[in-house]
């Protein structure tokens, strides 16, 4: 039986590697290095999955103000470029904060960011549910 879903490039890479990368990103957001940069996993969860509907809907890894680092930043000051400068593009990709977008197809890049954003939402929602008092 042939699979009707055709993926490739950045979308395929994100589907395969996104869950592990996002988990590494979540763990890093709990680190002292992240706290020193003014980042908080709790702040990210509150804004991306628990916050007002408009803010939850705006969460999108394709744009630095609304990405995981942007939402984890203190005082609404996105720290994406600080983290990128300190850790480099490969580290950012390996921790689920961005994708490897060596594609000339912008629709492929945006689709991959959609997949990555959905993976962040899924894992953040699971954490929020786990932390919710019984």
Tell me whether residue 114 is in a domain.
yes
**Using one digit for the tens of pLDDT, what is the confidence trace for 27-55?**
999 999 999 999 999 999 999 999 999 99
Tell me whether residue 118 is in a domain.
yes
Tell me whether residue 7 is in a domain.
no
What would the two tokens of residue 132 be? 């919710």
Tell me whether residue 4 is in a domain.
no
The pLDDT, as a whole number, for residue 9 is: 79
φ, ψ of residue 77 in degrees (nearest 5): -100, 100
**Using one digit for the tens of pLDDT, what is the confidence trace for 88-132?**
999 999 999 999 776 566 778 899 999 999 999 999 999 999 988
Q: What's the CA gap between 39 and 111, in Å, rounded?
A: 26
**Using one digit for the tens of pLDDT, what is the confidence trace for 51-99?**
999 999 999 999 989 999 999 998 766 788 899 999 999 999 999 999 9
What would the two tokens of residue 84 be? 């990128």
How many domains in the chain? 1
Q: How many residues does the chain have?
A: 134
Q: What's the CA gap between 49 and 60, in Å, rounded?
A: 12
Pair 23, 123: CB distance under 8 Å: yes
Tell me whether residue 22 is in a domain.
yes
115: number of Cβ within 10 Å? 19
Tell me whether residue 1 is in a domain.
no
Tell me whether residue 5 is in a domain.
no
Tell me whether residue 26 is in a domain.
yes
The pLDDT, as a whole number, for residue 12 is: 85
Checking if the pLDDT of 7 tops 70, the result is: no
Domain that holds residue 57: 13-123
């Amino acid at each position: 039986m042939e699979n009707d879903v055709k993926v490739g490039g950045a979308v395929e890479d994100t589907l395969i590697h996104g869950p592990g990368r996002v988990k590494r990103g979540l763990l890093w957001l709990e680190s002292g290095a992240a706290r020193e940069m003014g980042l908080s996993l709790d702040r990210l969860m509150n804004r991306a999955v628990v916050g007002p509907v408009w803010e939850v809907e705006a969460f999108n890894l394709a744009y630095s103000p609304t990405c995981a680092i942007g939402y984890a930043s203190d005082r609404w000051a996105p720290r994406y470029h600080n983290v990128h400068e300190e850790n480099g593009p490969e580290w950012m990709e390996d921790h689920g904060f961005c994708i490897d977008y060596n594609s000339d197809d912008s629709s492929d890049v945006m689709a991959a960011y959609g997949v990555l954003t959905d993976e962040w939402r899924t894992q953040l929602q699971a954490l929020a549910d786990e932390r919710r008092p019984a």
